[in-house]
A and B are shown apart, each in its own frame.
Chain A
Amino acid sequence: MHTKDRSVSHPDLHSISWDTFDRLAAGGGGVSAVGLLRTADRSRRLLLLAGLVDLAKADEDVTGPLFPAEEPWELLVRAQEAEPSALERILTHPYTGSWAGYTTRLIERGLPGECPLWVHYGYFHTLAAVAAIHAGLEFTIRVPVWNDTVVLPTLGAAHLDEGGGFATAEVRGAAGTFTINGRRSRVAPGAPDWTPLRDFRFEAGGQVLHLRLDDLDPHRGLFHPIPPDRLTDTEAAHWQGLLGEAWQLIVEHLPEYAEVLPSGLTSIVPEPAVPFRLPSASTGEAFGSAVIAEPVAEDPATLAAALVHEFQHIRLGGLLQLVPLHDDDRTERLYAPWREDPRPLGGLVHGVYAFFGVSAFWRALSRAQPQNRLAAFEFAHWRAQTWQTLETIRDDAALTGEGRRFLAGLATVFGPWQAEPAVPEAAHWADTLAADHLAGWRLRHLRPAREPAVDLAKAWLHGERCPQGVPEGRLDTVSDGEWANARADLIRIRFGPDGETRLPRSWFRVPGALEADYRLVAGLTDEARTGYRAVLEQDPDHAEALIGLGLSLPDGPARRALLGVPHLVRAVHRVLREAGNTPAVDVLAGWIGSATD
């Protein structure tokens, strides 16, 4: 950061050196780079806060029954003067950023919120209360109550008895203690109706990670405020244990990330478990936060990968506040191997950076644990899929010069990984999953025009050779059918702990899994093929079975068509069925595939 002129009346604009920019692109930059991004995000939040005060001054309805916006602002001023770290506590709180963005959108665009506007705006008043508490001030401020709950960000939640709905309460503080006073009820810390947030400290190899498990803050979600969803003590202990194990893995195997991750990831929002998966999410408005589904006990490595993944999103989100890497076109036009839907360029840039980090984690783990089949598979899978995506977008016309430089810098580090030896089994299944996903995406998002499909059906009915030149499909962002992605889950079960015994015992619990999927992943290819054919005889449109049949076939025209143009095979088959002709899907696919040599 360049601070040529720090005079108060003429502050500089934030800037980033090319050296730091290039280091971030390559996955480096250390604590100083993350600190720079955090400092920039702090300025962004402060500007939004100042803007929100101005908006409320112009329209007192914004604050409704709460104190006017000048009151919490002045309380923040007092808190900073008494104890500067008190202000920093709330400015660096991830959800201060989410709230500021959300509330700015509500007011500026006149959008309806989840609650009355003053309730949303009043998060500001709770932030001021928290800062004042930490500064040890004597103060009183009115805050919103939503369904009998007052959340004090970073501290906890009070459950009042005010009859539900929307109301106000007063937070009264002195010397660091406080009470929350409604009309009919009163709560103080330590009381049964006070729920403190859980803060964890993890230490491994001398590296310390502080994480808050935030199940209370209304702005911990991704898009709009949500009510508290308190974990039980048992659930929290489960999280604590797994996060500790995941941190241990990161410290041990990815020390360069262990050094910087604590400065960029400070809060975890727990979500309910998703069977056989670990979805996670973050928003560029909440620097420092990741939303993660409850992990399974036997797989801390996947949680570690998720932490690295979200940290990468956080870093890139921070950088994008300073440097546009692409234009603002959000047209969903590109294939992402980690998504079910077409994505805009910006989504792919984010994904590439995140999965670059994920690849780094699995690469390190697979090197340290050569017997770890899951690590070998994940590394083979993500390095190939991420690289392919990077190659697709690195010259996209919508990238800025900085964007091209960023991806080129990333490629400099990432490229050599592609040539590293891979376990043949891992490489094989990585290729299989890549083909599976791409074919599934084509089947659901490419729409062949009716006329060419009819022409092909006529040629078929006349016993002609399939005409050369397979027609292109039209991209449609709406998926044609659901997408279970069960084979990806099954592959991970097979390569996970006790996978060979777990797979036959648990495949049927994987949502959407066919028995043929299980057989395919178990290596019983002939049985899988028979199973897919049986499913397609009952339902020739069955998406998973169509792709599965393609995966189970030997190399040849039918496999080529089912994996390359499955949308066309299905479209022609539909036309033929309308004409009363129902060929076997793989026979028709072989005919179409013969034209794609």
Chain B
Amino acid sequence: MRSPGGEQPGIQSELLDLSAVSLSELRKLDPAVLRRSIRHAADRTTHIPVTASGSGGGGAKRVD
């Protein structure tokens, strides 16, 4: 990811953009690229990003 500031136009993620890739085309992507991207997505499932709260309840049971 590029660092903030400077003249960079934005932040590049590690997530492959599949918005223009059909399912049938997906399997034809560069296997190494696809494998790396799947691994990145799978690794991020390790932690379940749950937030629980009570915005109207004050001392809510949980807010993450």
Contacts and interface: CB of A to CB of B under 8 A. Distances in A.
A492 B29 contact: no
Nearest to A358: B55
A427 to B, nearest CB: 16
Contacts of B41: 44, 47-48, 51
Contacts of B1: 323-324, 402
A358 to B, nearest CB: 5
Given A15-B10, A302-B56, A323-B11, A42 B18 contact: yes
Given A48-B45, A50-B26, A402-B4, A276 B57 contact: yes
Given A305-B56, A306-B55, A18 B11 contact: yes
A3 B17 contact: yes
Interface in B12-56: 12-30, 33-34, 37-42, 44-56
A313 B62 CA distance: 13
Given A50-B38, A280-B53, A9 B28 contact: yes
B55 A309 contact: yes
B11 A16 contact: yes
B28 to A, nearest CB: 7
A492 B42 contact: no
A100 B51 CA distance: 18
13 contacts: A17-B10, A40-B15, A43-B17, A48-B42, A50-B26, A51-B41, A222-B52, A276-B57, A280-B54, A285-B48, A347-B64, A350-B51, A491-B58
A312 to B, nearest CB: 9
A14 B16 contact: yes
Interface of A: 1-3, 6, 8-18, 20-21, 39-40, 42-44, 46-48, 50-51, 54, 73, 76-77, 80-81, 87, 100-101, 104-105, 108, 222-223, 274, 276-285, 291, 299, 301-303, 305-306, 308-309, 313, 317, 320-324, 328, 330, 336, 338-340, 343, 346-347, 350-351, 354-355, 358, 378, 381, 401-402, 405, 433, 437, 440, 483, 485, 488-489, 491-492
A50 B55 CA distance: 37
Given A44-B41, A277-B60, A354-B51, 9 more contacts: A2-B10, A9-B28, A17-B10, A42-B18, A50-B27, A105-B45, A283-B48, A437-B58, A492-B57
Contact of B57 (A321, A322, A489): A489
A104 B12 contact: no
Contacts of A402: 1, 4, 11
A321 B13 CA distance: 8
Which of B3, B17, B24, B37 has the most chain A CB atoms closer than 10 A to its own CB?
Answer: B17
B34 to A, nearest CB: 7
B21 A280 contact: no
A281 B52 contact: yes
Top 3 A-B residue pairs of the complex, sorted by shortest distance between their CB atoms: A485-B59, A277-B57, A302-B56
Contacts of B51: 281-284, 313, 317, 347, 350-351, 354
Which of A80, A309, A440 has the most chain B CB atoms closer than 10 A to its own CB?
Answer: A309
Nearest to A278: B56
A350 B50 CA distance: 10
A35 B21 CA distance: 17
A306 B49 contact: no
Contact of B59 (A46, A305, A488): A488
Contacts of B22: 77, 80-81
A11 B17 contact: yes
